[in-house]
Structure 1
Amino acid sequence: MWEPEHRWLVWIVVSAVLACTEMLSGDFTLLMLAAGAGAGALTAAIVPGMWLVQVFVAAAVAGLSLALLRPTLLRRVRETPGYRSSLDSLVGAGGVATRAITDDEGQVKVNGEEWSARSLEPGLTIVAGQKVEVYEVDGTTLVVYPVSRSIAPRSPGAPLI
């Protein structure tokens, strides 16, 4: 069994694993939890025998970081020039219709994921298997048009056809 004076090492390992895993998500949640674990490690180094205090400090630091620091970091990242959310990055991506797409409904596969879709042009039906390109994202529905058909560029903010 671990001696109480070595529990700081467990906190450090937990903090490192959380911080490394954060690189996969980019959401700052795991980073805030890693900060809490780091505070738990510091507390364990100062008061090695008081595990309940270590847990309380780790939880408090993680909770405060999530509540106060994470929203600020997310806002700053999203306000940087050139930032595109994962949904915004779908615009211009190619895909294939997996079900017939009309101006009301349909389904498309883009970047290996299935999405609800609708046609950009009213009255146009895109048959299953046809290649499409994403024109815009409307909620969780992709507005698409067939690659074989060119479209006129529209100015930003202009209504759809």
Structure 2
Amino acid sequence: MSWLLWLIAAGLLTAGEMASLDLVLIMLAGGALGGMGVALATDNVALQVAGFVVVSLALLVVVRPVAKRHLTSRTTEQIDGVEVYVGRTAEVSERVDGESGQVKMGHDEWSARTQLDGESYEVGAVVRIVQIEGPIAYVSRA
């Protein structure tokens, strides 16, 4: 029956983590699950507490720093919308110059213009998408 107390403690610690978001209480909740695992094997309270302490410390020392670094790193920035196409290559499907043109990226057709005045690309040329404004992709030499 002591395993149920450890499970309740893990649930309460997890709920507390949702309020604090510091990644400490969730590690202690993992320790409580470790204590619960020991409680399922034995009724010895000292071993249950030892299991809680060992698992909690291991999670705090090993997992928490890695998780915190991952959550706070700036390199996990996600690019949304059409910005995902910037930097990709496309094939010219209709002559592209500063006034008009079409490029194909995968199955998508985009209206295209050259990035620099005086440039033009013929059908079949491979170009790089450098900017997207509305429905128009601005391209340059790949």
So what's the TM-score if we normalise by structure 1? Answer: 0.46
Which of 19, 22, 27 does residue 27 from structure 1 map onto?
A: 22
Give the C-alpha shift of residue 81 in structure 1.
1.9
Structure 1: 5+ residue runs without aligned partners?
A: 1-5, 83-161
Larger helix fraction of residues:
2
What secondary structure, in the 3-state scheme, does the structure 2 residue paired with 1:57 have? helix
* Percent identity (aligned): 32
Structure 2: 5+ residue runs without aligned partners?
A: 79-142
Give the C-alpha shift of residue 33 in structure 1.
0.2
1:73 corresponding residue in structure 2: 67
State the alpha-carbon separation in 2 of the partners of residues 50 and 7 from structure 1.
Answer: 10
Cα RMSD for the two superposed structures: 1.0
Which of 53, 60, 66 does residue 59 from structure 1 map onto?
A: 53
The amino acid that maps onto 1:34 is A
Larger Rg: 2
1:40 corresponding residue in structure 2: 35
Give the C-alpha shift of residue 20 in structure 1.
1.1
So what's the TM-score if we normalise by structure 2? Answer: 0.52
State the alpha-carbon separation in 2 of the partners of residues 26 and 81 from structure 1.
Answer: 20
Give the C-alpha shift of residue 38 in structure 1.
0.5
Give the C-alpha shift of residue 73 in structure 1.
0.1
Q: How many residues align?
A: 76
Give the C-alpha shift of residue 68 in structure 1.
0.5
